[in-house]
Amino acid sequence: MAKTTAKSAEKTAAVAKTAKKAEKPIKSEEEILLQALRGMRDILPDEQPYWERVRRVLTHAQQEYGFQRIDLPLVEFSHLYLRSIGEGTDIVDKEIYAFTTRGGDKVALRPEMTAGLCRAYIQHGMSVLAKPVKLFSMGSLFRYDRPQEGRYREHTQANFDMFGEDDPILDAQALQLAYRVVRELGLKHIEFQVNSIGTPESRKDYEKSLLRYLESQKHRLCQNCRERFESSPMRILDCKEDKCIQLTAHAPQSLDYLDQESRDHFKRLLEYLDELELPYVINPRLVRGLDYYTRTVFEVWSSDKEGKKYSLGGGGRYDRLVQMLGGEATPAIGFGLGIDRIVLEMKRMQVKPYEMPKPKVFLAQLGDLAKKKSLRIFADLEKSGVLLAESFGRGSLKSQMRVANRIGAEVTIIIGQKEALDGTAIVKDMISGTQETVTQERLVDATKKILKANQILIP
């Protein structure tokens, strides 16, 4: 009986062990998709010269117009955007990347720069600085929008913002700066569209008039505009649907409902633009579609030979936003330029990209000891201002010389086993074909002497 019980127990244990093995989850590796997410992309090395030209022009403009650089975090509390951009906008309702962190914070990837700039302005006490406070920022924005040409879910934008002055001369300077940037990037057919949407108080009468105009045609609006009808009627003017554009073609204009102060502000802005001879048209439909804008709004457009227009950026005044977020009453104006769109337009207009300086000196080495010495020599030459190339991974001198010829090197420095032991180097003039052996202490001077001589000889 005891034997039977023992055998039964062993059998039960074996069955349980087998069952346990069977219950063990089978590991399945999820397939890695070797591609960027939809709407995201890699900016490859062959495209970087265009981006480098844009970066350099932006940096020069930032410095010459007295803007200081500020870098903002990619992630902010989501209520910052809900309050500043406004609920009912496409950005907040459809495009924002919002999520909850492990700690329970409700956050969002930044869909635009302005709210974060105002948050930083308040948080770091910039209101005590001399006015206007001029800030420049550049980086990625994220919007869950339908990807299309020049419009990605992650895109790059450069912002120029000025805080603390309400004089329309700053509005004019913003347009002047935007014009200077795009012109320096080789874009010639530029036009500004400008409008004034007044203050929240003056807009009330305008919105009533707009609602009366649209009331009988409400059913013909697109679904989004029907939803905006009561809460944000002015955003209907910003709709890109053809039927909505046609319905609002003869709608009342915000310029007819401006308060006197806003009217004077806009009149003076136009006088400045005329003085600067900037190309602009008044677009009474332009509202920019965000809650925080007041008075001046504008966009910058480029056109091709066929007359097709491409938006490169835009901005306007947001005189109430800093106070709305909890700071002191602070007038402000700013604009953003879409770098992806600008690069696309540069290619379309066949603008020359930035040309990286080409190395005129090539460092060749032969043998293990020479390879060790070459790292120090490379660093010394680079430190002295000589731009040079190398091919440390290649062993044969013949293959390295092919590289030197391919890049068009004017001077090749050769270090072999003997030179490594002697502390010397062979300096070969690739133009004349002559060469000499010099000490490594004289290497920099000998190299620069040949480059200087070649500069005189080569037209």
Q: Give the angle subtended at the CA of 294 by the CAs of 290 and 296, to the nearest 5°.
A: 105
Would you say residue 52 has pLDDT above 60?
yes
| pLDDT, tens digit (0-9, with 9 covering 90-100), for 249-303 | 888 888 999 999 999 999 999 999 999 999 999 998 888 766 788 999 999 999 8
Q: Supply the mean pLDDT for the chain.
A: 87
Residue 118 pLDDT class (50, 70, 90 cuts): very high
- Tell me what pLDDT residue 6 has: 52
For 429, the enclosing helix (H) or strand (E) is strand 424-429
State the average pLDDT over residues 99-118.
Answer: 93
Looking at residue 87, its pLDDT comes to 60
Residue 89 confidence (pLDDT): 62
Residue 44's pLDDT is: 93
Q: How confident is the model at residue 203 (pLDDT cuts 50, 70, 90)?
A: confident
Cβ atoms of 51 and 343 closer than 8 Å:
yes
pLDDT score of 130: 95
The CATH 3.40.50.800 domain(s) of the chain lie at 361-457
CATH of 361-457 among 3.40.50.800, 3.30.1640.10, 3.50.50.60, 3.40.50.1110: 3.40.50.800
Alpha carbon distance 443, 439 (integer Å)? 6
CB-CB contact of 355 with 151 (8 Å) = no
- Return all residues near 108 (Cβ < 8 A) that are at least 6 apart: 75, 76, 77, 78, 81, 96, 97, 98, 99
**Whether 214 contacts 221, CB under 8 Å:** yes
- How does pLDDT run across 420-459, given as a tens digit for each residue? 899 999 999 988 889 999 998 899 999 998 888 877 655 4
Looking at residue 10, its pLDDT comes to 56
Q: Are 380 and 444 in contact (CB under 8 A)?
A: yes
Residue 41 structure tokens: 């992309």
- Tell me what percent of the residues of the chain surpass a pLDDT of 70: 90
Selection from 301, 304, 322 nearest residue 313 by Cα: 301
Q: Which residues, including other chains, have CB under 8 Å from residue 172's CB and lie 6 or more apart?
A: 269, 272, 273, 276
**pLDDT tier, 2 (very low <50, low <70, confident <90, very high otherwise):** very low
Beta strands across the sheet bearing 98-100: 75-77, 106-109, 98-100
Residues 152-195 have pLDDT tens digits of 899 999 999 999 999 999 999 999 999 999 999 999 899 999 99
Q: Rounded CA gap, 417 and 411, in Å? A: 20
The CA–CA distances, whole Å, from 192 to 67, 107, 171 equal: 22, 35, 13
pLDDT at residue number 143? 87
d(CA 305, CA 349): 9
Q: pLDDT at residue 354 above 60?
A: yes
Please give the residue that has the higher pLDDT: either 401 or 55. 55
Residues of the chain with CATH 3.30.930.10: 45-199+259-348
Question: What pLDDT was estimated at residue 459?
Answer: 47
CATH of domain 45-199+259-348: 3.30.930.10
Please answer whether residues 231 and 88 qualify as being in contact, where contact means their C-beta atoms are separated by less than 8 angstroms: yes
Predicted pLDDT of residue 234: 82
Q: Which two tokens stand for residue 315?
A: 């901005």
DSSP letter at 442? G
In angstroms and rounded to an integer, the radius of gyration of the C-alpha atoms of the chain is: 32
- 83-87, 112-116, 206-210, 239-243 — which is least confidently predicted? 83-87
